[in-house]
Structures are given as structure tokens and as C-alpha cells.
Amino acid sequence: MGGPLETEVQFLKGVGPKAAAILHKLGLRTVSDVLWHLPRRYEDRRDTPQLMMLRPGQPATVRGVLESVETRPIRGGRVMIRATLGDDTGLVDLIWFNQAWIARELQKKKGEIVAYGMVRSGAKNKLEISSPEWEWIDADDETEEFAKVVPVYGLSEGVSQALVRRAAASAAEFFAPQVPESLPESILRSERLKSVAWALNQMHRPDSLEKQREARRRLVFEEFFLMQLVLQMKRNEVHQETGIAFPITQLSGQRAASTSLFEGASALDEGGTLWDELHAMLPFELTGAQRRVTKEIWEDMERPTPMNRLIQGDVGSGKTAVAAAAMLAAVRCGYQAALMAPTEILAEQHTMNLRRLFEPLGIAVVPLVGKQPAKVKRRYQQMAATGLAQICIGTHAIIQEGVEFQKLGLAVVDEQHRFGVRQRMALRTKAIGNPDVLVMTATPIPRTLTMTLYGDLDLSIIDELPPGRKPIKTHWKPTSERSFVYQAVEKLLEEGRQAYFVCPMIEDNEKVQAQAAEDLFYRLNEQVFPHRRVGLLHGQMKSTEKEATMDLFRKHELDILVSTVVIEVGVDVPNACVMVIEDANRFGLAQLHQLRGRVGRGEFQSFCILIADANSDESRSRMEILVQTTDGFKIAEEDLRLRGPGDMAGVKQHGALDFRIADLVQDSDLLEKARAAALELLSDDPLLAAPEHAGLRKRVKERRSESALVTVS
């Protein structure tokens, strides 16, 4: 038998068995469920304007008498419901689409209604509110009872606001004091927070909007604080494990020699050091940021605990060179290194680039991908198992059964947000002992997301582009100007450059009117650029066909490459200086930025042309931010603001963002405070062993068991 919070919802005052069955539709079965079903917003009914005072473009809570209800069919087999609301000063129409049940509810009786939504100007300048939230005002409601701050809950069909409010108010009044306090008194004092019981009561029964905001702040802080405790404790655990202590200092000569490089020395004095070898291996000078991050990685590798480091860097910042430095260190210390990429094209690109770097040094690099001929695959697997292959590069195939390593000491995971936790753990099981793990992403991640998803990893940021790189010029053009775009591309082709054309789809789809790659390939090849060599690349092609097409493009035996987003990462052709993205409004901001990063990799001025008819405020905002900046971190912040964290980079699958109330955009400052408080607490009590931390220890244990937080440990 559970405690008071597990009391069945039917026993709440004002509920009963019949109402409880309705509440079950929302998953509300216990008092605890009701307490944590927090309102989605609040209506301040102390300020309900007369209808004549409404203005288009402003949200409003309106109150009036239901004058009429009309239901009529519209195009596409849809139905529109129009209800007219009136008071002594005017009228407003409430409109819903395809919700016949609302019409039935409204036609049951006459009376007063309260509704909330965005006011807009409709046909004949009549004011209307589309898809408003609404409810009846019961005749026995007293004016002063109505005129207050009212919580508004998320509902499902057949569940009324009145019922949920009644259950929540009862739960808050009688059971909120039973909710155990997790935060110790020291945190409550230092952060000026009220008790959880007070906060829950003010969330469901607010005395004012000011007190509700204070209550929300308290609950948000607790969510962030617990999450940061979990992440930091996991990070501390990894740092206490026994790993591989790579003897890099012995390879690199005196520490002073490597230190001088960071202080601006033009070359290393001691022949044969690892820095000398890296310097000779790379066909370019490392940037200051690359040297700094390389030093951080090598120092991590020297420690006898497992490295667990995330490298962030914008497109073109040189993450691969830094990863190569880590792999060189591992190999020279007598270990193997493995790199796992999300697509075969990217794995093949890495193989080609790393072979160019490592094979002159006598270091064998082999690919392990899914579609290799059986004979080739067996040979490469044998090389990995015997240690002849010192660096192995693959896709998911690298962690399949049958792939073994002799002495794997370093695992590098590229574009890691595309892999699940189990896949990364499987890669680690292939290693000897407890390997070092280096995680790379070319998708800039806002700081709030980094702290949320990757707080258990050490972070390095490559925040400097190689010298001489010219910023990519980005232009947004409507579809009506497509022919002018093609003319501009032709001028660049005449100068000897190459071009990408990217589409969101492979084949035509009647449901989504987007430009298909195969259709565009035909049009460009036959009609627009018949005198040019045009190639086609997409994910449904065989691996050999894709590599052959890319090889032709690299060798400039193709002038134009028509592709889907399969080229989003990894493709590097310096002579390609223009990218045309068709139907650009169908891509997310981060994806558009990644695609744009395929050009601007050589000495020539590069261009990105976004062809799109942006018909919404959000799509226009996306196009405008790309035109204004090439800073991936600014773009990521804007992407987070526009779309929210759940849709960014596929992170929702990880479970780390399942907050009850916290919002990473709105509450970023509070996340910083919660993180600082968690670090300070753990510095004094790393295991939360103190008696006053017993509640925290229990909540952290629960959180760790219920959340699939992102980790590579």
C-alpha cells in the first residue's frame, strides 16, 4: 500500500468514481498524478476587457453570452464551427476546425462563456479568435470567485477544465504538505526558495501571478538541480574508474617543448616528438583553437582515468584534424583507434582523408562498413583482430558481432547525436579495458542543451576557423527567381567552379509538394544545363554507386551534383563554391547550416542560395537568420528558440529533456544557477552521504533509474 500521495483520484474532494474515470483519460489516477499535472498557462480574469476593446494581434481572455453556433462544411471535407460571443459593447467570433464535439457541447445550452486566444481581423473586419480554449461560466459562479488568476490545464476530449481544476485544488489543499522536500535547507536559503508544498499549492491555487511565478521558479530550479546532480555524479564516477594512461609525454620529449607550441613557437625543437610528427603529417598549420583542444585531449589521455570528452566546432573548424591528433597519440602508444560515423559516405570520406594523412607514416587505416564484399570485409576484420589495422573506420558495422580488435584504446564517435546510448556502449565493449572516448559534433549546440544532454562529458570547443577562409555569402530567393539563380550558377561554372543542388526528397510525393532530387536532376541535365556534366546522389543508391559519383565530383569530372541531405556532413570538395538548396523552408536551421558548410572549403568566394517561398513567420525567420550570420552557435540558439529542444538534433529520444515544467529557452539563467549549486554541493559531499542530503540522494537514485540520459560511459 502506497503513502497518501498514492491515494486514488476518486477519493479527492469533489471527484468521486464517475469523475475519476474521466480523469483517467489524462493519465491522472493518483493524487500524485494530479499534483504534478501542472497548468500550461494562467488567465488573469481580473482583467477581462469589454469586447469593444479587443485589438487584432493581441491575446485576450473574453467573456460574453453565446449568441449563435454555426457549423458548415469547407473544402477538403473539413468542417468549420463558428460561435458568436457578445456583450453590451460588441461581438467576437470563436472559430474551430474539424472539432464537431465542440459544436455539440456549445449547442447543449445557452449562457455565458469565457474564452482565450489570439484576436485577429477576419472577413469584413469582424474580430475573431481561432481555436480558443473555452469553458462555460456556471450560473452559480460568484463574481469575485470568477475574477481571479485561474489555472488552465492541458486536456483531452471529454475532460473539462472545471473538473481538473476541482481535483487539482483539492489535491493541493489537502495533500501538497505530504510531498517530501528534496532540497536541503542550505539550498533553500541560499537560492531564496520556498518549500515544495508551498510551490505546488501556488501552482494550482495561485494567490497572484507574482506568487505563481515564484512557485514555478522553485520547481524549475529543483528539476535542473536534480538533473545536474545526476550528470555530475556520473561524470565523477567515470573519473574514478581505471582507464588507460597513454604515455604521451614520453613520446613528446620534455613537457616544455609541447608547451612552447601553445605559446606561439613556430616549430618544435626536438626531433621525433609527437608534436613534430603531427606537424609534419598535416598539410596545414593548426589554428590556436585546434592546438588548445589537442592539448586538452592529450592531457586527458595521459591520465589513468577514461577520457570522456565532447568536441564541438562549427562546420569547417577542423575537428577531424584534432581527432587525427588523438588517434596518432593512441597508435604511437601501442593501441588501436576506431572512428564511428553515422553514414557510409561520411565513413568513406574519413577513410580517404585519414589514409592520406596516416599511410605515409606507415599506419594502416581500414574501413569497416556494411556493404563491403565478403572477401574484403573478412580481410579487414582479420586486420583489426590481429592489430595490423591500427585505425579502423566504420558505421554501425564496426560494433556488430564478428568485428574484434586486438588492442582498441581510443574510440572516436563522429556526429554522435545520431547514435543511441547502446551503440556507443557496444563500441566501448570492443576495447581493451576501459578506453578513452572522444565525441565530436559539427552541429553547434546551445550552451543550455550542452549542459543538459552532455553535462557528464568534459567539453572542448574549437571556436576558430582556419585562416584565409572567406565567409560564405548567403542569399534567399523566391521560387519566381529560380531562373536568375541558375544564370548566376552558370557564371561560376564558366569560371571553373562546381555546384551542389540539394533537395529534401528523392522521389516526387503527392502529399508533400517539394522539389524531388530525381526530378531536378532530369530538369537540370536535360533543360537547364544540357552542356554541363550533372550527377545524382541520394541515400537509396548502392554504396559503390554513391562513392563512384562522389569520386567523379571530387575529380571535377562532374560540374553539378544534385543530392539529398546525404551530403549534409563529411563531403569535402574545395572547388565546389556554390550550393543551391531547393525548398529550403522544408529544412531546419541547423540542417541548412550544415548543408551550407559543404562549400566555402577552398580559396574561392562561396555562395549559398536558399530557394523558398516562406509563407509563415517561422520559415521567414529561418531564412533571415541564415542570410544574416554564418555563426553556427548563434544559429543553434535561434533554432532552439524557434523549435524548442525536443526537435533539435534528434535529442528528444534521449529522455534527458522530459521536464515537467522547466524550459531550456525561458529558464537558461536558472539552469546556470542550478548547475553552479550542484557543483558546489558535490564538492563538499560527492556521494550525498550527509544526513541532510538523504532526500536528494533518494531523488537522484530515482532519476538515474528512470532516465536514459545521454552518456558515453
Average pLDDT over residues 274-303: 90
399-416 b/e (C-beta count within 10 Å ≥ 16 → b) = beeebebeebbbbbbbbb
70-79 pLDDT per residue, tens: 998 887 778 8
The pLDDT-based confidence of 424 (bands split at 50, 70, 90) is low
CA-wise closest residue to 352 among 339, 333, 342, 371: 339
Distances (CA, A) of 504 to 501, 553, 582, 606: 10, 20, 7, 22
Q: Does residue 461 surpass a pLDDT of 60?
A: yes
pLDDT for residue 639? 80
3-state SS track over 698-709: HHHHHHHHHCCC
Average pLDDT over residues 166-192: 93
For the ranges 20-29, 206-215, 699-708, which has the lowest average pLDDT? 699-708
654-696 pLDDT per residue, tens: 445 668 898 887 888 898 899 999 999 999 999 999 998 988 9
C-alpha cell at 160: 473539462
pLDDT for residue 514? 47
Q: What is the largest CA-CA distance in the chain?
A: 92
Q: Does residue 466 surpass a pLDDT of 70?
A: yes
The pLDDT-based confidence of 260 (bands split at 50, 70, 90) is very low
| Beta bridge pairs of residue 116 | 61, 133
With contact defined as beta carbons under 8 Å apart, do 299 and 309 qualify? no
The pLDDT-based confidence of 546 (bands split at 50, 70, 90) is confident
The more confidently predicted of residues 466 and 192 is 192
The more confidently predicted of residues 381 and 157 is 381
pLDDT for residue 216? 96
570-627 pLDDT per residue, tens: 567 889 999 999 988 888 888 888 889 888 888 889 999 999 987 777 788 889 999 9
d(C-alpha 232, C-alpha 608), whole Å: 41
d(C-alpha 453, C-alpha 456), whole Å: 8
Burial (Cβ within 10 Å: 0-12, 13-18, ≥19) of residue 678 = buried
The pLDDT-based confidence of 454 (bands split at 50, 70, 90) is confident
With contact defined as beta carbons under 8 Å apart, do 600 and 472 qualify? yes
d(C-alpha 234, C-alpha 226), whole Å: 12
SS3 60: strand
pLDDT for residue 633? 79
Phi, psi dihedral angles at 92 (to 5 degrees): -145, 140
pLDDT for residue 508? 47
CA-wise closest residue to 713 among 224, 230, 222: 230
C-alpha cell at 327: 588517434
Sequence-distant (≥ 6) Cβ neighbours of residue 245 within 8 angstroms: 302, 303, 304
pLDDT for residue 638? 82
d(C-alpha 553, C-alpha 531), whole Å: 16
The pLDDT-based confidence of 2 (bands split at 50, 70, 90) is low
Q: Does residue 264 surpass a pLDDT of 50?
A: no
The amino acid present at 19, given as its one-letter code, is A
The pLDDT-based confidence of 267 (bands split at 50, 70, 90) is very low
Distances (CA, A) of 396 to 144, 430, 603: 64, 13, 35
The more confidently predicted of residues 337 and 400 is 337
pLDDT for residue 648? 52
Q: Does residue 69 surpass a pLDDT of 70?
A: yes
416-422 long-range contacts, CB within 8 A, separation 24+: 416/310, 416/440, 416/441, 416/712, 417/441, 417/443, 417/649, 417/650, 417/651, 418/342, 418/650, 419/340, 419/342, 420/653, 421/654, 421/708, 421/710, 421/711, 421/712
pTM: 0.70
| Beta bridge pairs of residue 338 | 392, 411
190-236 pLDDT per residue, tens: 999 999 999 999 999 999 999 999 999 999 999 999 989 988 888 88
With contact defined as beta carbons under 8 Å apart, do 386 and 673 qualify? no
For the ranges 170-174, 270-274, 454-458, 462-466, which has the lowest average pLDDT? 270-274
Sequence-distant (≥ 6) Cβ neighbours of residue 422 within 8 angstroms: none
Residues above pLDDT 70, as percent of the chain: 88
Average pLDDT over residues 320-338: 94
pLDDT for residue 409? 92
Please give the order of strands across the beta sheet that includes 560-563: 473-477, 607-611, 576-581, 498-502, 560-563, 534-537
pLDDT for residue 605? 92
Phi, psi dihedral angles at 408 (to 5 degrees): -80, 120
Average pLDDT over residues 263-285: 64
Helix%, strand%, coil% for the chain, nearest 5? 45, 20, 35
With contact defined as beta carbons under 8 Å apart, do 350 and 569 qualify? no
C-alpha cell at 403: 568485428
What are the chain's domains?
Answer: 1-46+154-179 (1.10.150), 47-147 (2.40.50.140), 285-302+318-441 (3.40.50.300), 473-629 (3.40.50.300)
Q: Does residue 265 surpass a pLDDT of 50?
A: no
